[in-house]
A = this chain, B = another copy of it.
Amino acid sequence: MDFSTRLRDHGLRVTRQRLAVLGVVDSHPHSSADAVAEKVRRDLPELSLQSVYNVLNDLTAFDLLRRFSPPHSPALYETRVGDNHHHAVCTRCGRVEDVDCAVGHAPCLTPSDSHGMTIQIADVLYQGICKDCAERSPGPAG
């Protein structure tokens, strides 16, 4: 299903800016707002950063995009939604990889004591050193 159809299915107008943002995030998963703006501007030079923030936020609200906030990083966006997958982040270079969820839907884990909260999501953030960084500077993880 293409992006135009998905937008219309949610009662959203199909704009060049939205299609461009979705296309860039689809081909470059885990992109920041700045990175998306830079790439979209190759085709739409007049696109504003404000508009990128608007589009990313609006489409995340409608589950057309997923937002992921690793520590020490701007928010990152991806089009892979609905499968509750997790992420692995390299603590040296910031590289992000998708990790399939063993269960496939949220919440995939339940806390030992939820303190009365109704849990809806369990996000797992794996942190470590990627292969490239381990090769470049073999510290204790090498």
Q: Which of A5-13, A15-23, A30-38, A97-105 contacts B (4 or more CB under 8 A)?
A: A97-105
| Residue A136 is within 8 A (CB to CB) of chain B in the complex | no
- Least CB distance from A1 to B in Å reads 25
**Identity of the chain B residue whose Cβ is nearest the Cβ of A106 in the assembled complex:** B127
In the complex the two chains form, what is the Cα distance from A111 to B100 in whole Å?
8
Min C-beta distance of A60 to chain B, whole Å: 11
- In the bound complex, residues from chain B placing their C-beta under 8 Å from that of A109 are 124, 126
Interface centre among A97, A113, A118 (most CB of B within 10 A): A118
> Are A118 and B123 in contact, with the CB atoms below 8 A?
no
- Residues of A near any B CB (own CB < 8 A): 67, 69, 71-72, 75, 86, 88, 90-91, 97, 99-100, 102, 107, 109, 111-131, 134, 141
A121: nearest chain-B partner, CB-CB: B127
A90 — nearest CB in chain B belongs to which residue?
B117
Tell which of A100, A117, A118 has the most Cβ of chain B within 10 Å.
Answer: A117
Shortest Cβ distance from residue A87 to the other chain B in the assembled complex, whole angstroms = 9
